[in-house]
Amino acid sequence: MPFDFSNQRVVVAGGSRGIGRSIALAFAAAGADVSICARGASTLDATAAELRRHGRRVHAAPCDLADAQAVAAYVGAAAAALGGIDVLINNASGFGMGDDEAGWAAGLSVDVMAMVRSSHAALPALLAGSGSSSIVHISSISGFGPSTRAPAYAAVKAAMMSYTRSQAAMLAPKGVRVNCIAPGSIEFAGGVWDQRRRAGDPLYERTLKGIPFGRMGTPEEIAEVALFLASPHARWVTGQVIGVDGGQLLGG
């Protein structure tokens, strides 16, 4: 069943590289008009140029997703540029790892509050949209359990999962579906796992050995699930957290 997002308006918060980039490109290839934001201007411009090759309407703007006013301004500008919003993807992460003030601040301000703020800002447009509007949050399998290596990261990803369910319950009567993807270890050029591999970090090989398929995942494999969750094929799916990890959690 092919995905057709013709005449759909998609906003990807954190969409210039890695998983966010692949999600934005996948929606554009399926016919959607797409808006992306990120802090880095160079990757933002490069991804916007890729999106425009699909011949769709494209909006791209720099945004610090830890800044409440910046989030509201970006979402408003995206809705104006696209003529509305049908799908909101929250993909950004502050990658706050340690159990210290900096780690918690990074995770709470970006992973959690950017998700909440962008959802609030987009809701009027989502309610006025096509009648099949949806929100997809990108969390992590780290949110499924405790972590001694990255306690703040695991906690904020768990918070995203919890909010997904609460938000889904609140918005179902209004016709908006809300779901969450929990990726496993995803490798792409310049990403965290690519950096660990290049640096010879033992954690890379340990993690790789724990994945039954013997490889890291790709951003495209997350994008395909995002398209499904936002499509009519998932019209009876809401409040779900879907692990996309190649069986990484099967080993415990």
Query: Which amino acids are annotated catalytic?
Result: 153
> What are the CB-based long-range contacts (under 8 Å, 24+) for 114-119?
114/13, 114/14, 114/65, 114/66, 114/71, 114/90, 115/90, 115/160, 115/163, 116/163, 117/68, 117/71, 117/72, 118/11, 118/13, 118/65, 118/71, 118/74, 118/75, 118/88, 118/90, 119/88, 119/90, 119/167
CB 190 within 8 A of CB 250: no
Distance CA 35, CA 59 (A): 4
84, amino acid identity: G
* DSSP bridge pairs for 33: 9
Distance CA 182, CA 244 (A): 6
Residues 6+ apart with CB under 8 A from 67: none
